[in-house]
Structure 1
Amino acid sequence: MSRLAALMPALLLAAQAATAQEAAAQVKQNWFEDPFFRISAGLPACTMPEGPFYTAEERRAQTHSRLERGTSCWLAGKCTDSNAYRYDKPLAPKVRAALLAVPGVRKSSVWVVIQRRWVYLQGCVPSAALARKLERAARAVPDVETVVPDLMIGTRGKPPYRVAGQ
């Protein structure tokens, strides 16, 4: 048996391991456990947002800026907690309840992401009036700092948010 033939199994295993590591690096996860949930599914053709899912590389790139943004709220005297991201999990059920109380919300397809007291509304609504009502409802929840209404009217066109699977 030639030396190359003897090395082939080891080379094949090394190539498979490298391929597996590369594939694992591309898998997206909610590394920071940011609240992400769906409020309604009334417009089934609405494109689902990506949500707070990142590859391992994207996570590494975001870690430093998240540390800065999380403490800047406290340093500015706008938060009592030294990390604004710690507000997010307790805010999630309050934001969900406020949005579900908006008349007509079930006729839309809306997802919510909460990061450092910012509420991102993503998805599709049947009217601009409903989008405004949802934004006002989320904004009225105590401890919500900002609401970003990334909502489309209807289901046609390019969504103003990152899309799942891309």
Structure 2
Amino acid sequence: MLCALLLLTPGTHAEDDLQNRGHDPFFQVSSAIPDCPEPAGPRVNEAEWKRDSHHRIEHGNHCWLEGRCRLPNAFAYDEEIADSTRRRLQWLSASLPAWRQSTLWVTVWQRWILIQGCVAPGFPVAPFMAALREVPDVERVVDETTAHPERGVPYALFRKDLSRHGSTKAQAGEGSVQGK
């Protein structure tokens, strides 16, 4: 009876535990826009991880098989890309300082840079994304930012209050948004 109760208690299932299971680089780079909802990022529960693992493996070495990558797995680039992205952002602070008028998170995933968060109206989106595409070994930069978070955001949300209870990602653009 005690074992059954423990299995039903929220937070005791391994699959309810949100983690960055792939160790994908995920970091916040700015925080000028208050109340910007935090993205779910690469945090998933065990069930999601198992469901996506085959695709992750296949996609990870696809570029090498096609002869587009020098390393046998696209994920092998991610830490180096994350470090280069941080340096690039430092350089952009001097050459394109308006980018700091944002609250942004970066996820690096198999040579892709995903930018999520909130930007000020008039934010220089095109030059900012173009500058990130210049980071070595980056295949694609994905823009999931908004200047109007009150209307919803174009990404899945991280819900700290629910992450221990198995609800991993809230739908993008929900009316009631909880973030940081």
Could you say whether these structures have the same fold, taking a TM-score greater than 0.5 normalized by the shorter chain as the test? yes
Residue ranges of structure 2 left out of the alignment (5+ in a row): 160-169, 171-180
- Deviation of the 1:88 alpha carbon: 0.2
Give, in whole Å, the separation in 2 of the partners of 1:140 and 1:89.
Answer: 16
The count of residues paired between Structure 1 and Structure 2 equals: 155
Question: What residue in structure 1 maps to residue 31 of structure 2?
Answer: 41
Higher helix share: 1
Give, in whole Å, the separation in 1 of the partners of 2:129 and 2:151.
Answer: 21
The 5 A counterparts of 1:92-107 are 92-100=82-90, 101=92, 102-107=96-101
When Rg is computed on C-alpha atoms for both structures, the one with the higher figure is 1
1:18 aligns with 2:17: no
Residue ranges of structure 1 left out of the alignment (5+ in a row): 1-10
The 5 A counterparts of 1:43-122 are 43-100=33-90, 101=92, 102-122=96-116
Question: What residue in structure 2 maps to residue 30 of structure 1?
Answer: 20
Aligned-residue CA RMSD (Å): 1.6
- Deviation of the 1:45 alpha carbon: 1.8
Question: What residue in structure 2 maps to residue 136 of structure 1?
Answer: 130
After superposing the two structures, state which structure 1 stretch, 125-134 or 27-36, moved more. Answer: 125-134
**Is the partner of 2:33 in helix, strand or coil?**
coil
- Deviation of the 1:22 alpha carbon: 5.3
**Is the partner of 2:97 in helix, strand or coil?**
coil
Structure 1 segments, 4+ long, off by >4 Å, are none
Question: What residue in structure 2 maps to residue 146 of structure 1?
Answer: 140
**Is the partner of 1:114 in helix, strand or coil?**
strand
Give, in whole Å, the separation in 2 of the partners of 1:76 and 1:127.
Answer: 41
> Do 2:101 and 2:123's aligned partners in 1 also have CA atoms closer than 8 Å?
no
Alignment TM-score, normalising by the size of structure 1: 0.87
- Deviation of the 1:25 alpha carbon: 1.7
Question: What residue in structure 2 maps to residue 7 of structure 1?
Answer: none
Q: 2:150 aligns with which of 135, 151, 156?
A: 156
Q: Percent identity?
A: 35
Change (3 A) 1:127 1:96: farther
Alignment TM-score, normalising by the size of structure 2: 0.80
